[in-house]
Amino acid sequence: MSDTDSFIDEVTEEVRRDRLFLMLKRYGWIGGAVVVMIVGGAAFREYNKAKDQTAAEKLGDGITAALKIDGSAQQAEALKSVPAESAGGAAVLNMLEAGALAEAGKTVEAVAKLEAVAVDGGLPLIYRHVASFKALALQAGSLSVADRRVQYEALAQPGAPLALLASEQLALLDVEEGNTSAAISRLRDIVADATVTADLKDRASQVIVALGGSVNGDAAPEG
């Protein structure tokens, strides 16, 4: 390479450096801002994660302490005073308080607590359906079969979180009304469902046999 070519290359490289330096001076803040945003975003996520974990631990400790208290009425009062920092936490507390109230014989108050959760559209479906299911169980002696059937049918829709448990209750309502064939048919559907739990499958099978039917689908008795 000639001296002239070498000199030209050196000048060209120097110009490139000058341009890069000017660009960094002019636009370097953008890269810095991006770094700050990334680091700040990660820190914010970690802060929220830690905050949520702290709130969950506080809620769990409060619930544990309340449930250690002797006496259902006293447990209900203690649960009422446990703070909840999220809608889900408040729903869990309401359902636990409802259970304590029911054990204390305060069924009307318990049902009111559960129904408040059941109609809260801001909660996940599983919370609302569990609350509704529990409320119906507490009202077995006060609601008519027709009223209970309507509500259990709503819970038994395909894809609903408690669909099979609600179907089991519908089968028991069939039995209550003397419709044995319908009950056995419904229970067989539960047994055959791919998502059925072992306990529910065993329970449904036992009821089928107790009603005089067979799990494998033989003709059901009249009734």
Whether the full predicted model's pTM is greater than 0.85, yes or no, is no
| Cβ(111)–Cβ(139) below 8 Å | yes
- Tens of pLDDT, residue by residue over 110-167, are 999 999 999 999 999 999 999 999 999 999 989 999 999 999 999 999 999 999 999 9
pLDDT at 83: 86
Task: Name the residue ranges covered by the structural domains of the chain.
Answer: 1-142, 144-223
pLDDT at 47: 47
Average pLDDT, the chain: 82
Residues 6 or more apart in contact with residue 162 via CB below 8 angstroms: 129, 130, 133, 155, 156
Residue 222: pLDDT over 70: no
Going by pLDDT thresholds of 50, 70 and 90, the confidence category of residue 219 is very low
- DSSP code of residue 131: H
Q: In 141-171, which positions are buried (b, 16+ CB within 10 angstroms) versus exposed (e)?
A: eebeeeebbebbeebbeeebbbbbbbbbbbb
Cα radius of gyration rounded to whole Å, the chain: 32
- Tens of pLDDT, residue by residue over 24-34, are 555 554 544 54
Residue 189: pLDDT over 80: yes
Residue 9: pLDDT over 60: no
| Cβ(104)–Cβ(76) below 8 Å | yes
Average pLDDT over residues 93-121: 92
DSSP secondary structure string for all residues of 142-173: TS-HHHHHHHHHHHTSTT-TTHHHHHHHHHHH
Counting DSSP H helices and E strands in the chain, the numbers are: 9, 0
